[in-house]
Amino acid sequence: MTDSTPSFPPDSAIAIAAAVRRLAEADRLLLALDFDGTLAPFVDVPRGARALPEAKAALDRLEKLPDTWVAYVSGRPLESLEAVTEADEDALLIGSHGVEIRFGRDGVSLDLSDDERTTLDRLGETLGRLVDSVPGTKLEVKPVGFGVHYRTVEGDRGAEVVRRAYEAAGEVSDALTVRDGKDIIEFSVRGADKGDGIERLREYTRATAVLFAGDDVTDEDGLRVLRPHDGDVGVKVGEGETAAQYRVADERAIATLLTLLAEARASR
């Protein structure tokens, strides 16, 4: 675990630069990246998020290199992730925390059982009533659940929203998968996480080394499945406890890291 300070001191810069050089030499390299808060700054209107231009340019360059794959691993529904990443038909995408998978043209469909659909309908009605009663909250519809956003709730009512959401969802089912993220609480009728998604990506690409970067508590599932002894690299963006080997301050630092990696891999 790295130091909890989200700065990027000289010794960390040296260590990350060395890790980038090692990654650049991998036989088969997979870059699996969270989107919001990692490549793109947070915005109040989720559909308006876009990766920083420097990060986008580096990723465009990387995915054109031999034996190099770029994948996005997000809590967003797949349709939303496709839009904000401006993904083409060959993109590798993990949506809804690993529940939805699209491996280019070999995409995987999602099929819910009748019981799951019934629970999902009831959950939407229940959380919808909660959101209607609290100004500043927003309900996000996901393929296997719902997210209650409370970024714009006034004052310190966020904790109240989370408590009430737990209570409301508990009335529907006691077998839901719950994820508490940055200003959002999510409830799903089917369980999966970003670690599952990364393992599927590793298998699909047959990667010999993986870079995963993320900023949220839900990204820790992805960081925990990495294999540092085999050359994998995990990067935490911002503050918080983490299983990552390295930490950077913000999205701009990730853009810089990706630019360095693109240059090193292109010249190997």
pLDDT tens profile 164-195: 999 999 999 999 999 998 899 999 998 889 99
Give the other-Cβ count within 10 Å of 107's Cβ. Answer: 14
Q: pLDDT tens digits for 254-263? A: 999 999 999 9
Q: How confident is the model at residue 6 (pLDDT cuts 50, 70, 90)?
A: very low
**What percent of the chain stands above pLDDT 90?**
80
What pLDDT score was predicted for residue 11?
52
What is the distance between the alpha carbons of residues 122 and 222, in angstroms, rounded to a whole number? 30
Q: Under DSSP, is residue 175 helix (H, G, I), strand (E, B) or coil? A: coil
Q: Does pLDDT of 126 surpass 50?
A: yes
DSSP H or E stretch at residue 95? strand 92-95
User: What is the arithmetic mean of pLDDT over 53-62?
Assistant: 98
Q: Percent of the chain at pLDDT above 70? A: 94
> What pTM, to 2 d.p., does this model score?
0.77
**pLDDT tens across 190-228, in order?**
888 999 999 999 999 999 999 999 999 999 999 999 999
Question: Contact, 39 vs 254, CB < 8 A?
Answer: yes
Cα atoms in the Cβ-side hemisphere of radius 13 Å centred on 105: 0
pLDDT tops 50 at residue 7: no
Please give the pLDDT value at position 82: 94
Average pLDDT across the chain, whole number: 92
Q: H or E element: which one contains 133?
A: helix 114-133
Residue 3 has pLDDT above 50, yes or no: no
Based on the number of CB atoms within 10 Å of its own CB, is 111 exposed (0-12), middle (13-18) or buried (19 or more)?
exposed
Per-residue model confidence (pLDDT) at position 182: 86
In the predicted structure, residue 32 carries a pLDDT above the cut 50: yes
pLDDT at 9: 46
Query: Considering only 10-14, 60-64, 241-245, which range has the smallest mean pLDDT?
Result: 10-14
202 in Cβ contact with 210 (< 8 Å) = yes
Check pLDDT > 80 for residue 80.
Answer: yes
Predicted pLDDT at 110? 64
